[in-house]
Structure 1
Amino acid sequence: MRCTRTQGKKGELHRNPDDPPRKRANKNRGRGTYENDRPPVVGMVGRETGWACFRVCLDTKEETIRAAVAEETAEEACIFTDENRSYLWLENEEESRTRNAVDHSEEWAADQDGDGIREVHVNTIEGIWTSLRNRLRRFRGVHKDHLSGYVAMFELAYNNDQVTPALLQRMCGV
């Protein structure tokens, strides 16, 4: 079935040349920040538990990433990341967490111990990002002040595939 309202209108000029169509999306290059209207979302998922955690941040500076990772991961955790420089603090000798990184310009996953199994990858969180983007796409844009609420609802749905009495009690603060 064809839409008759817009059929044949693609070649027509805009009725008011002083009123151009609105710009779509924020196409600024580089990493997003809250100030440039592209707030970054830091995401973590446990390899063994599958439990995911997301935080909307003001920027992707080392201090911001460090606070989010330290809050949500165990002291002795091994963190798998991409080549982003914001994670370099994990390679510090005083840090109890360790880091394994994948350089995506060279490979999608790394075989760390030479046994033929590529155990260092970030495919799990990359797949979850796709799900989050698809969830947010339904709303055709989310205001940055409300993004954390949408992300929290996605996290809740991802981590709890069933509504149980225990989940309802946690949601109600009981």
Structure 2
Amino acid sequence: MKFTLSWLKEHLETEATLEEICERLTMIGLEVESVDDKAALKPFVIARVLTAEQHPDADKLRVLSVDTGDGQPLQVVCGAPNARAGLVGAFAKPGTYVPGIDTTIQVGKIRGVESFGMMCSERELQMSDEHSGIIDLPADAPVGTSFASYAGLDDPVIEINLTPNRPDCTSVYGIARDLAA
């Protein structure tokens, strides 16, 4: 059975950490199979494209100036068809691991133009199979803040193994009641 930490805390008044809750679940006989703490999405920030110029040596690439909220715009080479000035989306700085393409972003040159990061699609963040362009957020999305937090993707998912003798724990309410006891 899978449930999110926030869903559990709707039924359980506690200040316990994720690790403490998982340990306690195992102690009461509810074996924790896995925990997806969404750590892979924590480095991504919300960024705004300030300018989008045609790449001098490629028809399908654009050179973007991107505001990541730290005051210094970054130059990014992008091949997304929806890359345009004013677009707000998820940004990966150099050193960020992008799970959907199994790559760590590096500073590099793309057809002779330096690129200092990457604007990301939903597939690159493993949110869906959508890869037709950059994630397009509302214009009022807070630039420089965590994308995972903004999109509600930072809530850990806990998966437990239920045995047939524990029908009382086939609901989040039942699990919360058992933890509270």
TM-score tier by shorter-chain length is under 0.3
Question: Quick one: higher RCO (CA 8 Å, sep 6+), 1 or 2?
Answer: 2
Higher fraction of helix: 1
Higher fraction of strand: 2
- TM-score (structure 1 length as normaliser): 0.24
- TM-score (structure 2 length as normaliser): 0.24
